[in-house]
Amino acid sequence: MGEERQESLTRSMGEVLLVQDLEMRREVAMKVMKKNLALHDAHRLKFVAEAQATSQLEHPGIPPVHDLGLTAEAAPYLTMKLVRGTTLRDVLQNLLLRRKEFRKEYTLHRLISILERICEALHFAHEKGVLHRDLKPENVMLGDFGEVHVMDRGIARVRGEEEGTWSPGSSRSFCGERRESAAAVRKRRYPRSQEMRWRG
């Protein structure tokens, strides 16, 4: 069952929840589309596009997508690796405030290394034809063990595809078909969730 761990958050397209994956016995991050946006097929397809675009990117700097489905209310959701740490925005703000502990930990050498790893992740995505289009410090997570993750591809686009279209056949499942079975899977696998915050 899910445990209370962190606070609430609302992102541009949806809410991010901390949930327990009972099948794999692990904590994951679940992004659920906002109810008002889930009423429109165009927004639903954009949400599915984010999940499918990210799922193509197997890189240490890009958290993998584990699952894609529908809630009991027929709102699309995706689950992905749970990244613990802080955002690059928080680090830069604390450096500007000249916080001693941050200046000691985030030296110029380390900041350059973080920038290099961001560039590596973006280059990999571009080589796969996926454009982020919303890169900013709050969308870069610095993990507790030195990880650097490029997050939140909510307006990502696969190069060569027209705006507002999406080709994979599974997308029809998120626009009115097979909702009941998808919701049943979600309820069994993720029975309870808790809102969490990516500080940014």
pLDDT at 8: 36
Determine the Cα–Cα distance for residues 17 and 196; give it in Å rounded to an integer: 5
pLDDT tens profile 31-52 = 888 888 888 888 888 888 778 8
CB of 21 closer than 8 Å to CB of 3: no
pLDDT > 70 fraction of the chain, expressed in percent and rounded: 70
CB of 82 closer than 8 Å to CB of 151: no
Single out the catalytic residue among 90, 134, 144, 152.
134
> Model confidence at 182, in pLDDT bands (50, 70, 90)?
very low
Quick one: which of 95, 193, 190 has its CA closest to 142?
95
The structural domains of the chain, ordered by start, are: 14-83+165-195 (3.30.200.20), 85-150 (1.10.510.10)
- 134 annotated active-site: yes
